[in-house]
Amino acid sequence: MSTAIPISKTRKLLLAILVTCLGAPAVAAPQNGNLPPLVIKSQGSFFAGGAVLTQPGTFDPTSSAPVGQTLYGDHTYVQYQIPNGNPRKYPLVMWHGGGQSGKSWESTVDGREGYQSIFLRRDFPVYIIDQPRRGRAGNTTVGQNLIPTPSDESLFVAWRLGLYPPTLYPGSQFPPGADALNQFYRQMTPDTGPGNNAVVVPGVVAAFEKIGPSVLLTHSASGLPGWLTGIASPNVKGIYAYEPTGYVFPTGSVPPPMGGIAGTEVSMSDFLKLTKIPIVIEYSDHIPAADQPSPYPRVENWRLRMILGRQMAKLINDNGGDATIVHLPELGIYGNTHFSFADLNNIQIADLLSQWLKEKGLDARN
């Protein structure tokens, strides 16, 4: 399942556009509580990888015709901040999920600090990407017809905020209130070109070439290309995957598809590369037990994905690797959504990541 905005080609929809209230409470001058200031040695952004679309011929500077002109696209956008002092050796590279941009890791939907600032405070260099053909990396060498298709409520269910939007699950860790949900829905941003791991993975691998050895955080739809990036780039020193939608298995060991959820085949030699780095696959709350199918297909998908994730982790470990399944309710942590890293208890969620980084020696300083 892709969580990108669905593109329907010809359906005509009866659509009503309602301008939302512009008078929502101000969030622009947030109080940072008693937090000390962030001290940043350097910050900025750059592009990595990508392709060049070239129109044959000779450019005529008195004409705007495409003849002889280029279009640079399919790159990754990378924004970074390096904390001052004696930072950790391995940066964290944060890769958004489907239909999202790097915004996912910045402020939470209720204006608290997200992983960007939380991990700067913990002395990690932070690199946040927009994958090729998404967000600020929108230039694409292959176009597509972009037809807005309402899907927020499906995502509300799929991302396990609740079953009947806008009503949250009781005890949900999602920030309450209409303003938070408004901010959440607006995080969605479409692909500008066809989604294609053959484009996305080389773009992110190129980012890792510029960033150097670092730890990759993936979320949801970046799970699968995240595994492929970990296979392709020796600079990926660990992967912490938040609810990946996709999983890889070596040739001959791909489980039969379950209800449309299928593993992705890679060669055994590629699969074994994932046994050389520590890995976590994290699942939040409200995923049905393995033997309890859900009548809600977008929730049921998560039951099947967690089964697949456990199978992938077992295969990694059977081959000498180090993969851990973290299922938050098993740790007594309840109410988290598909965006645990931005939920109300995101400091607690961040602590789990910090603890793992420490255990694996990935939080060493230079």
* Burial (Cβ within 10 Å: 0-12, 13-18, ≥19) of residue 299: middle
Residue (44 or 332) nearer to a second copy, CB: 44
Min. distance of Cβ 155 from a second copy in angstroms? 9
Residue-wise DSSP of 117-141: HHHHHTT--EEEEE-TTBTTB---S
Within 10 angstroms of residue 9's Cβ, the number of other Cβ atoms is 6
The end-to-end CA distance of the chain, in Å, is: 41
Q: Is 157 in the site for a second copy (CB under 8 A)?
A: yes
Q: What is the DSSP letter of 169?
A: P
Residues from 274 through 303 that contact a second copy (CB under 8 A): 295-298
Closer residue to a second copy (CB): 68 or 255: 68
* Closest distance of CB 86 from a second copy, Å: 13
171, 335 Cβ separation under 8 angstroms? yes
3-class SS at 324? strand
Q: State which residue, 133 or 249, has the beta carbon closest to a second copy.
A: 133
Nearer to a second copy, 84 or 269 (CB): 84
Asked if 198 is part of the footprint of a second copy (rule: CB under 8 A), the reply reads no
* Amino acid residing at 321: G
Residues in 16-35 at the binding interface with a second copy, rule: CB under 8 A: 16-20, 22-24, 26-32, 35
Nearest approach in angstroms of CB 208 to a second copy is: 9
Is residue 317 close enough to count as binding a second copy by CB under 8 A?
no
Decide: is 152 part of the binding site for a second copy (CB under 8 A). Answer: yes
Binding status of residue 92 toward a second copy by CB under 8 A: no
Counting contacts by CB under 8 A, is residue 126 touching a second copy?
no
| Pair type for strands 51-54 and 70-73 | antiparallel
Q: Which of 2, 13, 331, 355 binds a second copy (CB under 8 A)?
A: 13
Output 101 or 356, the one with its CB closest to a second copy. 101
Q: Rule CB under 8 A: is residue 232 a binding residue for a second copy?
A: no
Out of 10, 12, 14, 330, name the contact with a second copy by CB under 8 A. 14
Rounded to whole angstroms, the Cα distance separating 309 from 268 reads: 17
Site for a second copy in 165-194 (CB under 8 A): 165, 182-183, 185-190, 192-193
Q: Which of these, 98, 105, 104, lies nearest to 124 by C-alpha position?
A: 105
- Give the separation between CA 265 and CA 295, rounded to whole angstroms: 29
CB-based contact 55:23 (threshold 8 Å)? no
Q: How far is the CB of 143 from a second copy (least distance, A)?
A: 4
Cβ(239)–Cβ(273) under 8 Å?
Answer: no
Give phi and psi for 264, each to the nearest 5: -110, 130
Q: What is the largest CA-CA distance in the chain?
A: 68
349: enclosing H helix or E strand: helix 346-359
Which residues from 341-360 bind a second copy, rule CB under 8 A?
none
In the structure encoding, which two tokens stand for residue 222, read together?
Answer: 């970046």
How many residues of this chain interact with a second copy, rule: CB under 8 A?
A: 119
Eight-class DSSP state of 222: G
Q: Which of 95, 119, 124, 127 touches a second copy by CB under 8 A? A: 127
With binding defined as CB under 8 A, does residue 331 bind a second copy? no
61 forms part of the interface with a second copy (CB under 8 A)? yes
Structure tokens at 156: 């509300």
Which residue, 163 or 258, is less far from a second copy as judged by CB?
163
**Smallest distance, Å, CB 195 to a second copy?**
14
Which residue, 82 or 258, has its beta carbon nearer to a second copy? 82
| Assigned token pair, 217 | 């955080």
Q: How far is the CB of 215 from a second copy (least distance, A)?
A: 15
